[in-house]
A and B are shown apart, each in its own frame.
Chain A
C-alpha cells in the first residue's frame, strides 16, 4: 500500500511574529521554521501503518529551499521518500492552489491513503484536506483521532464538540485530515537521520505538474488585506516586580474575590 503525507513547514511556535512592510504576512527572514504540528501526527500515523505491515510512505511539501529541512526530518523519522514542490510560481497560493498542487502529485502517484494535518499553525484554514479530496474525487474526513484500516475500508473516529467522537467509514482510497493527539509522535533517531541522507528527495516544479498559471499568488482567490495584533480590549491589569512582589499582589486580588 502507498501512503502520501502532506507536510507544511511553518514558523516555529515560539518565533517572533513581526508584520511585514506590505502588511500582508509576517517577516519570515531570520526566524526558525518547523513542521506544522498537526502534520507530524499525520506522518506518525503513516509510519505506524508502515510499521504494522507493508507500506510505501512518501512525504510531500511545497515551499522554498528551506522546506528541504522539513522533508529531511520526515525521512529521518522513517518516510521512504520525499517530493519537494519547489517553485517561485507556487508562492502566495491560497488553500485551493495548494490543494491543486497536491492533487497533481497524488494523480501521478495514486496513493491508497492521503494523510494531512487538520490545520496549519500559521494560516489556520483547515481547508487543504477536504479540497484535495474534492479535486481527486475521493471521500474524506477531518479531525481524525483514530484511524483503522481493514479490507480497503478506513474507519475514522473524528473529534466532535465536548469530547464526543463520530465514527465514519470511508471506502477505497481516501483523504484523512488528522487532529493533534491521535498518537505520540516519534523523534528522528540518529540512525534514521543518517539513513535519510540516502533516501530519494525529488524536486518538482509547477510546470512539471501541469499547473502553470493555476496556482500561486496571481491565481489566489482570497488574499490578506491587512494584518494586525488583536485589539487589546479592556486588557489585563499587568503586575510587575519581583516574583515575591507579584505573588503578594496576586494574593491581595484573590482575597478581594473572597477566595482566601
Chain B
C-alpha cells in the first residue's frame, strides 16, 4: 500500500485551516486503508511551521525550502510536489481547493498520469477502494467517483470536513529542491487586496439577495430593493447577476464576494451554487424563493417557497409594509 500525501498551504505566515482539514481526511483514509500519512510544507523558512504540522496530523513532513516558493508559483510548487510524491511513495495526493490548490493540482495529475477529482466534500474508503464524493452540475447533483489509476490527485473543498484536532508524531524530512529562476516562465507579481466595498453587507441584520432568476436588471430596482427597504435591510446578489453586469461586484454574496451571516437572509431566484452557499449559509434564518423545487438553496433554507418570485416578493413587500404600519 502506498501513502497519502497532504500538500499543506501557508497563508499569512501560518499553515492554513484547510490543511488541517486535509490532515483529518488523510488520517481517516490512512487508518481505513493502511496508508501512512505524509505531508509537504513548501515555502521559504518553513521549518517551525513544518514541525508544528507534523505534530498536528501531518505525519512525516517533507519540507521544501526555497525563496522561489515564498509566493505561490505553479511551476515552482509543481516541482516541490513532484519531489514530495517521489520521496513519500504517495498514491493519494490531497490538496485544498483553494486558488493555489486548484491551480497546481490538475497540472500535477497530468504530470503523474494520475486520476484527478476536484473539490471533494469527502474522501472515504468503501469496500477497500477510495471513494471521492463531490458535487456536479453546480451543486445540483452529488456524485461518487472511483479511480482506477495507480495514483490519484484530489482536491478537497475548504470547510467541508472538520480540521484534525489530535496529535501525531512526525519527523521532518527536508527535500532538496532545485529551481532555476531563469527557467520559470510564470512569475508572481503581487497580490492586490480587495478594494473597499461601496456596500458593506457584513453589518446588515437583514439581506435580500436576488439571483439569475430575477430575470432582468431593472427587476432588482422594482422587486428586490423594495423588499430590502421595507424590511430595513440591504440588497445583495449572486455571482451570475454581477457577472452579467446587472449589479456591481460590491453586492456579491459568496466565496468570491462578501461572506455574511445576518439575522435574516432572503434568497430570491438563487439556485444555491456552492460558492454562494459558502457566503451565506451561516445566516441565522434563511428564506428561499425559487421556481425549481430541487434547487440546492432549499437544503440550507429554514423556510422555502417554490414559485414565481415576481409574484411572491411584491406580495411579501406589501405584507411587510402593512405589518409595519399596523
List CB contacts (< 8 Å) of A67-106 with chain B. 94-96, 99
Closest to A15 in B: B137
The answer for the CA separation of A99 and B104 in the assembled complex, in Å, is 15
Q: Which of B19-27, B41-49, B142-150, B166-174 is the contact stretch? A: B142-150
User: Does chain A have a CB within 8 A of B302?
Assistant: yes
User: Does chain B have a CB within 8 A of A207?
Assistant: no
Contact of A165 (CB < 8 Å), options: B139, B191, B285, B299: B191
Residues of A within 8 A of B134 (CB): 124
User: A163 near B257 (CB under 8 angstroms)?
Assistant: yes
What distance in Å separates the Cβ of B21 from its nearest Cβ neighbour in chain A?
15
What distance in Å separates the Cβ of A168 from its nearest Cβ neighbour in chain B?
6
User: A158 near B324 (CB under 8 angstroms)?
Assistant: no
User: Does chain A have a CB within 8 A of B323?
Assistant: yes
User: Does chain A have a CB within 8 A of B315?
Assistant: yes
Query: Contact mask A146-182 → B, CB, 8 Å, 1/0?
Result: 0000000001011111111111111110100000110
Given known contacts A170-B186, A221-B149, A230-B299, A260 and B324 CB-to-CB distance under 8 angstroms:
yes
The DSSP consensus for interface residues of chain A is: mixed
What distance in Å separates the Cβ of B192 from its nearest Cβ neighbour in chain A?
4
User: A225 near B145 (CB under 8 angstroms)?
Assistant: yes
Q: By CB atoms of chain B within 10 A, which of A121, A143, A247, A260 has the most?
A: A247
Q: Which of A49-57, A196-204, A234-242 is the contact stretch? A: A234-242
The answer for the CA separation of A184 and B188 in the assembled complex, in Å, is 27
The answer for the CA separation of A220 and B258 in the assembled complex, in Å, is 38
Residues of B within 8 A of A250 (CB): 287, 303, 305, 316, 319
What distance in Å separates the Cβ of B313 from its nearest Cβ neighbour in chain A?
9
User: Does chain B have a CB within 8 A of A125?
Assistant: yes
Contact of B116 (CB < 8 Å), options: A95, A158, A254: A95
Given known contacts A225-B145, A243-B315, A127 and B140 CB-to-CB distance under 8 angstroms:
no
**A-B contacts besides A122-B136, A222-B117, A236-B301, 13 pairs, CB < 8 Å:** A11-B137, A17-B141, A124-B136, A124-B138, A229-B140, A230-B296, A231-B142, A232-B299, A236-B302, A238-B306, A239-B304, A250-B316, A251-B323
Chain A interfacial positions (CB closer than 8 Å to B): 11, 13, 17, 19, 26, 37, 94-96, 99, 121-131, 133-135, 138-143, 155, 157-172, 174, 180-181, 184, 221-233, 235-239, 243-244, 246-251, 253-255, 257, 259-260
